[in-house]
Each structure stands twice: as C-alpha cells, then as structure tokens.
Amino acid sequence: MAEQPFLERILISQEQIKQRVAELGREISTDYKGKKPLFVGILRGGIIFYADLLREISIDCNMDFMSLSSYAGTKSTGEVRTMLDLRESIKGRHVVIVEDIVDTGLTLDYLMKSLADRGAASIEICCLLDKPCNRKVDVSPKYVGFTIENEFVIGYGLDYNELYRNLPYIGVFKK
Ligand code: 5GP
C-alpha cells in the first residue's frame, strides 16, 4: 500500500478483522440460541462492525440503533449525549450493544445507565476494540474483538473529524 500521510501504521488488517468478526458471530449465535436477541448498533463508529457482525449471526435476531456523542477530534469531551434513541421497546429482550471501541468507558457507562430501567431481560456489550488502559469507569464488555494499547485509531468505522471511517483496516492515526 502507498504511504498515507494520516497513517502511522496498520494495526489490524482487513483479513484479521474478518476472521475475528466471524468468530464473534459464532460465539454470540451459540450463546443466544433460542433467545432472539436485539442487536443495538451505536452510530456512527460501530456501524461497519455491526453490519459485518450481523451477517455472521446465524440465529433469529432484531436490529435497532442509537446515536451517542462524546468525542471531538482525538479527545473525549467526557460529556455524553443521546442524539438518537431506540425505536423499539427493550422490555423483556436480550440486548447486545454493538460498539466500535471502549476507551474511557464513559459512553457505555452512560448507555448502560440509560437502558437500565427499561426492563431488558439482559444487556451485554460487544465491542470490536477495547482500550482497557484508559478506563475511567468500570465497564466490562463480554465480547471483545481485539484489546489494544492507548493509541488513537482510525478506519473500519472509526473516524478522525469524520474522515477515514471507510478504510477497510484499523490503523494508528499519525498526529
Ligand atoms: P469512551 O466513552 O469509552 O471514552 O469512548 C467511546 C467512543 O469514543 C467510541 O465509541 C469512539 O467513537 C470514540 N473513541 C474512543 N477511542 C477512539 C479511538 O482510538 N479512535 C477513534 N476514532 N474514536 C475513538
């Protein structure tokens, strides 16, 4: 690949992502057999992972979406807001939240609290990337694609100022 001015290096290749997403799909399909889970995709960063993961799910399931915001550039603002809420009730449902990356954990902590009193049968988190070294609150995703160091990454849904979401791999952003 030609050198890209915004890219420090490729961290996770297209092939590695494909393989891991298929593994996660198999694992979740086994765990939720007979439960018709509701997969909640978090816009916008989680959407490419969501679309690939859902095609690896082999059981009946439903889809819904939420949009949350907390980042500006490469820094979390720490203040999370709901930009778009779920269309459907989650009462009695087994919910799997599908997110791109857990960093400080503030976004998912906010989300878990906002869903807590809606009567779901269960709520678990599936994230493609986990940056546990940067955690500020206790959030433990059940399904994790890759655990990474504290670096700002782009691609496969993840942006820098709304660019680079379309890259098919995950790369470290060159500041
Ligand atoms: P948290 O609230 O856990 O700090 O961050 C969650 C959100 O911040 C993610 O959904 C993602 O949109 C954004 N984020 C965290 N780390 C990164 C990163 O390394 N790269 C990009 N592009 N976004 C990130």
CATH number at residue 153: 3.40.50.2020
The response to whether residue 167 sits with its C-beta less than 6 Å from ligand 1 reads: no
What 3-state DSSP class applies to 157?
coil
Structure confidence at residue 73 (pLDDT): 57
Please check whether residue 1 lies inside any domain of the structure: no
Nearest atom (ligand 1) to Cα of 109: 2
The protein residue with its alpha carbon nearest to ligand 1, atom 23, reads: 158
Question: 60-96 burial string, b = 16+ CB within 10 Å, else e?
Answer: ebeebbbebebbeeeebeeebeeeeebeeebeebbbb
How far apart (Å, rounded) are the C-alpha atoms in residues 14 and 18? 6
Given a cut of 80, whether residue 71 has pLDDT beyond it is no
| 74-83, 90-99, 110-119, 163-172, range with the lowest pLDDT | 74-83
Q: Which residue from 42, 71, 113, 137 has its CB within 8 A of the most atoms of ligand 1, so it is best to mutate? A: 71
pTM as predicted: 0.93
Please check whether residue 77 lies inside any domain of the structure: no
Which two tokens mark 109? 């902590």
Query: Would you name the residues annotated as active-site residues?
Result: 103
* Residue entry with tokens 């954990």: 105
Please check whether residue 54 lies inside any domain of the structure: yes
Given a cut of 70, whether residue 102 has pLDDT beyond it is yes
Nearest atom (ligand 1) to Cα of 134: 4
- Strand ordering across the sheet containing 170-173: 7-12, 170-173, 153-154
The response to whether residue 146 sits with its C-beta less than 6 Å from ligand 1 reads: no
The response to whether residue 71 sits with its C-beta less than 6 Å from ligand 1 reads: yes
Which residues form the domain of 138?
Answer: 7-68+89-173
Comparing CA positions, the residue from 112, 158, 110 lying closest to residue 131 is: 158
Please check whether residue 75 lies inside any domain of the structure: no
User: Count of domains in the chain?
Assistant: 1
The response to whether residue 172 sits with its C-beta less than 6 Å from ligand 1 reads: no
Please check whether residue 83 lies inside any domain of the structure: no
For 8-24, write each residue's pLDDT tens digit. 999 999 999 999 999 99
- CA of 106 from ligand 1 middle (Å) equals 10
* Alpha helices by DSSP H, the chain: 14-31, 47-54, 106-116
Beta carbons of 22 and 56 less than 8 angstroms apart: yes
* 47 vs 70, higher pLDDT: 47
Structure confidence at residue 4 (pLDDT): 83
How far apart (Å, rounded) are the C-alpha atoms in residues 129 and 131? 7
